[in-house]
């Protein structure tokens, strides 16, 4: 049973370009979460999605960032017009859903570098 998959693992973008980060949850998991880890900091929640729905985006920056989890295919975190401050590790996590206490399973992360 494959774990959470993220690609690319490393992404380099110039300032002003767009970054697209992909996350495939574990098989059977319908809930996806995105977190950002800035250098020398802990992980901060960004957004929580279920299939075709954004449930909680309270941690998303108001501009340039968007996320989706379509009916088919991976979840996408999109950053438009990247700036140096967007350089960070972006982690995706998935869980089966509500009902009992399910921990979140994390992917290996995408390390974004903005030059």
CB of 78 to other proteins, least distance (A): 20
Nearer to other proteins, 72 or 100 (CB): 100
| Shortest reach from residue 28's CB to other proteins, in Å | 15
Sign of CA dihedral 115, 11, 37, 64: positive
Q: Choose between 8 and 16: whose C-beta lies nearer to other proteins.
A: 8
Residue number with CB closer to other proteins (44 or 78):
44
Q: Which is nearer to other proteins, 15 or 44 (CB)?
A: 44
How many beta carbons lie within 10 A of that of residue 95, not counting itself?
A: 19
Q: Which residues bind other proteins (CB under 8 A)?
A: 4, 31, 33, 35, 41-45, 48, 56, 59, 91, 93, 95, 97-109
* DSSP for 49-101, written as a single string: EETTEEEE-TTS-SSSEEEE--SSS-EEEEE-S--GGG-EEEEEEEE--SSS-
Minimum CB separation from other proteins for residue 86, in Å? 19
Q: Which of 10, 19, 71, 79 minimizes the C-alpha distance to 47?
A: 79
């Amino acid at each position: 049973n494959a774990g959470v998959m993220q690609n690319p693992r490393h992404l380099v973008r110039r300032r002003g370009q767009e970054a697209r980060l992909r996350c495939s949850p574990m098989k059977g998991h319908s809930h996806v979460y995105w977190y950002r880890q800035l250098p020398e900091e802990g992980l901060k929640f960004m957004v929580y999605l279920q299939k075709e729905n954004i449930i909680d985006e309270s941690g998303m920056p108001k501009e340039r960032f968007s996320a989706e989890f379509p009916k088919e295919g991976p979840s996408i975190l999109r950053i438009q017009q990247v700036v140096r401050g967007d350089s960070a590790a972006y982690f995706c996590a998935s869980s089966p859903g509500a009902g009992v206490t399910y921990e979140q399973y994390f992917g290996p992360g995408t390390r974004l570098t903005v030059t």
